[in-house]
A and B are shown apart, each in its own frame.
Chain A
Amino acid sequence: MDLSLLQALEREKVLEVLQRDKTLRSVEEDRIRRLKLELQELRRRGAKSFCRQYSERTCARCQRPLGKFWNSGAVCRGCSHRICSKCRVCVSPHEWKCTVCHAYRDVKIKSGEWFMEERAKKFPRETDKHDTIGEILLRSYQRLSYIAIVPPTPPPVQNVFTPPFNRLSSWKNSKGSPKPFTKSMEDLMMSFTTRIKKISKSQEDVRAEPDLLTVEHGSIDRSQSDTAINISANQVPCFQSLFKRSKEQVQERRRSSSALCGDEDTSQSSGYSGEKRGSSSSTSTDCGLIESSGVTGELELALAYSFSSSCFEVVVGACRNLTHGDTKKKKCHPYVKVYLLPDKSQSTKMKTAVIKNTTDPIFQETLQRSIARELLASRTLQASVWHSETLRRKVFLGEVLIPLDSWRFEDSSTQGLMWYPLCPKTEQPQGGSVEQVAGELLLRVKFSSLTQICKLNSTGIGPYEVGQFTVVIIGVQNLSSSKHTSSFIKGCLALPGEREMVQRTPVVKKGPSPAQAHQLTFSRVTPHELQDASLQLEVWEHAPFSVADKLQGTATLHGGLLWQPLQQAPNVWHSVSLPLRANINNRKP
């Protein structure tokens, strides 16, 4: 179910409704959080710890001593604790519950948890029982709008992961409270675990990496994983590293672990990755080779691009001669995971099913991802093979990196299955003007015709009419190198005939994700010229006390396909997000 079947106006209308629903939902989530906190508070007050055994004969709720013959208390059917007569709530003439069990029941009703549970019974396959259809639609639309055209109103850019996290935090303590868990508390635990599962989208991931759930461990891994991704994003196939061996056992450990972590779900931490990320030079050593198991074998892939549906397709055929993931037991349960680097977000991850017990798995799976053709040129296909075993860390079995900038998707001869040798995690090439992803640039672009007033009826703009091309920089995300510096953005529109137009924004003083809202206007441009134009945007770090400003990253916008929507829908804002590449050579603005 998606919104692509609707007409643009209808879609806008529906999205508006969904937005309203989202507001209502966030109010509701706040309320539920409050309810659960209250419940937790109540339980903590009446918590009977393990060290005070039942022999003491006190009421589990108010801790008052219970007599042997009178006021001896009775066992609550909900939690199996002995409860004095004052801490009971009558549900019916024959039935009562202790205050906590009653409050728990109350929360279950008031929070709508009962509904989620009922629904989960009917649709057990659904990944998240808390998701509403509105939420799913909004999210899928956001993903769609990331690569496609967006209506004039800015799309919601809120973190969809926030609600589950908040819910989790309110439940975290309930796990730790020392309290005998019986029936109703088991229910609590159940809902706690289901919440955890929700964080890592697939349940399989959770089982495979249980230590991800521990807090201390997680925080370290997270920060490392960010760096690992940052670096692995720039890997190029490097065959000689296949034969390299790391010297020190200790270092090897560290590397393999960081590389493993680099593969984990990072979407949650991406929000503040800029803070955690160290300098790239200091972490580049962390991402060396993984030689915990030597990489052997080949991977069969076919790449294609469907121009009609703007869909990138990878056919994962098979693997042969893989190394054993579990070298001791000689076991291997491989699967293939595909990213379009530098994008390593969870939402765009593609992976095959796990094939059990083979080093020559046959997948024959087609993985798809909708992405604009012109964005593909800046991507590198990373297909990595992993060994997956329940309750174990995943083991890296090798990867293939294919830069897509020169891939000829238009040529059908490139679409056949081909064998690629698997490589180890490649070492970070040292020095040089290596392109590095430094963040993301969010833009909105518009082409407006100056003659629009007299031509209201015409749908498009003629190819030779002069118009104005406007770029609004909404923000720079995850800018890695600068912490709290001021920056400005320079835009250079190169038009055919060696015509160049340069514009720059004022200096903005802000943190790693400066929220810019500056406009670059290039006037006297014809749509015809735009066809072959390219826009280079540079993010510069402004150093007030030094002569030279430092270039932090560049992003380029070019290609006929991108300009097309601008022409077809003039005077309308289009959202674009571009990967920012860090350029090592210093240049002057």
Chain B
Amino acid sequence: MSQFPERFSAGSTMTDGDYDYLIKLLALGDSGVGKTTFLYRYTDNKFNPKFITTVGIDFREKRVVYTANSPNGTTGKSFKVHLQLWDTAGQERFRSLTTAFFRDAMGFLLMFDLTSQQSFLNVRNWMSQLQANAYCENPDIVLVGNKADLADQREVQEKQAKELADKYGIPYFETSAATGTEVDKAVVTLLDLVMKRMEQCVDKPALDAQNGEGTSKLDAPPVNEKKCAC
């Protein structure tokens, strides 16, 4: 089945384990901001203008090739990434179910509707939900203002949203699931953040040990080591 692993497309069967990373991202935000259509646009590059409310939770998958920029500036290696994109119901009555799923996601697409001031105001609430339920206190989040194509109905100004994003120290994108604008970019930015976070998490203990006082690691080597002049 997986004879040609380098060829990825959303339509291919993605049942094999031929990938390097499984990254779990989750979209959250008020009901009707376009989480499902956003993800549908990203995975299938299609747009469904119909509003079908998500029941509890759902997920979509996509395989992408991620090219890391290695720290010394050279073009890094390419990795196959299997993305599991969790879609959550925005409706209040599913809240306890959806927030429970926050703990399993590595990165978050916090979405609001550019044509709805209320959905933007609720971003704060979603942020505190994330802080409480996500895997760590400051997870990787990308703020997404969706429905950018509906310029005439716009209620949230770019400056406003940008300020909020800066306050939280997270990237901000204005997307349109209808036209596909910036959708890919938002997800890829989040993926990039998560990939960097992974490295940090693994290397951080080593750095801590280096900087910290008498570490076991440096004291541990056997006595023979000290005789070595070099």
Contact = CB atoms under 8 A, between A and B. Distances in A.
Contacts of A115: 106, 135, 198, 201
Nearest to B21: A110
Interface string B214-230: 00110011101100101
B133 to A, nearest CB: 10
B84 A183 contact: no
Interface stretch (B97-105, B117-125, B154-162, B167-175): B97-105
User: What's the dominant secondary structure at chain A's contact region?
Assistant: helix
A126 to B, nearest CB: 9
Interface string A210-231: 0000000000000000000000
B65 interface: no
Interface in B188-226: 198-199, 201-203, 206, 209-210, 216-217, 220-222, 224-225
Interface in A1-50: 1, 3, 5-6, 10, 13-14, 17, 20-21, 23-24, 27-28, 30-31, 34
Contacts of A14: 55-57, 97
B90 to A, nearest CB: 15
A78 B215 CA distance: 12
A536 B135 CA distance: 51
A1 B100 contact: yes
Nearest to A97: B206
Nearest to A122: B136
A53 B84 CA distance: 48
A91 B203 contact: yes
Interface in B11-34: 15-17, 19-22
Nearest to B210: A77
Contacts of A134: 101, 104
A112 B135 CA distance: 13
Contacts of B103: 119, 123, 133
A117 interface: yes
A183 B56 contact: no
A75 B220 CA distance: 11
A105 interface: yes
A123 B199 CA distance: 21
Interface in A44-98: 53-55, 69, 72, 75, 77-78, 80, 82, 91-93
B135 A27 contact: no
A503 B22 CA distance: 52
B84 to A, nearest CB: 6
B149 interface: no
A69 B230 CA distance: 8
B17 A119 contact: no
Contact of B19 (A20, A31, A72, A78): A31
A1 B106 CA distance: 21
Contacts of B228: 72
Contacts of A121: 136
Contacts of B209: 183
B222 A118 contact: no
B17 A122 contact: no
A179 interface: no
Contacts of B106: 112, 115
Most chain B CB within a 10 A radius of its CB, from A30, A92, A122: A122
Nearest to A119: B135
Interface string A314-352: 000000000000000000000000000000000000000
A68 B3 CA distance: 49
B139 to A, nearest CB: 9
B216 to A, nearest CB: 7
B101 A28 contact: no
Most chain B CB within a 10 A radius of its CB, from A82, A92, A115: A115
Interface in B42-92: 55-59, 61, 71-72, 84
Contacts of A69: 230
Interface in B125-173: 135-137
Most chain A CB within a 10 A radius of its CB, from B17, B19, B59, B216: B17
A13 B137 contact: no
A78 B72 contact: no
Contact of A77 (B16, B217, B222): B217
A132 interface: yes
B15 A27 contact: yes
A276 interface: no
Most chain B CB within a 10 A radius of its CB, from A75, A114, A132: A114
A133 B217 CA distance: 36
A133 B123 CA distance: 24
Contacts of B55: 10, 13-14
A182 interface: yes
Contact of B101 (A91, A105, A114, A133): A133
A222 B118 CA distance: 60
Contacts of B203: 91, 105
A494 to B, nearest CB: 43
A128 B221 CA distance: 34
B224 A54 contact: yes
Nearest to B23: A112
A109 B206 CA distance: 15
A17 B100 contact: no
B56 A109 contact: no
Given A109-B199, A122-B136, A72 B220 contact: no
A54 B224 CA distance: 7
Contacts of B225: 54, 75, 82
Contacts of B198: 109, 114-115
B99 to A, nearest CB: 9
A207 interface: no
Given A1-B96, A54-B222, A55-B224, A114 B17 contact: no
Contacts of A114: 198, 201-202
A195 interface: no
Nearest to A117: B201
22 contacts: A1-B100, A14-B97, A17-B56, A17-B57, A21-B59, A27-B16, A72-B228, A77-B206, A80-B220, A92-B72, A105-B202, A105-B203, A108-B202, A109-B199, A109-B202, A112-B21, A115-B201, A121-B136, A133-B104, A182-B220, A182-B221, A183-B209
Interface of A: 1, 3, 5-6, 10, 13-14, 17, 20-21, 23-24, 27-28, 30-31, 34, 53-55, 69, 72, 75, 77-78, 80, 82, 91-93, 105, 108-110, 112, 114-115, 117-119, 121-123, 132-134, 137, 182-183
What are the 7 tightest A-B residue pairs by CB atom distance, in nearest-first order? A31-B17, A119-B135, A114-B201, A14-B56, A183-B217, A13-B55, A54-B224
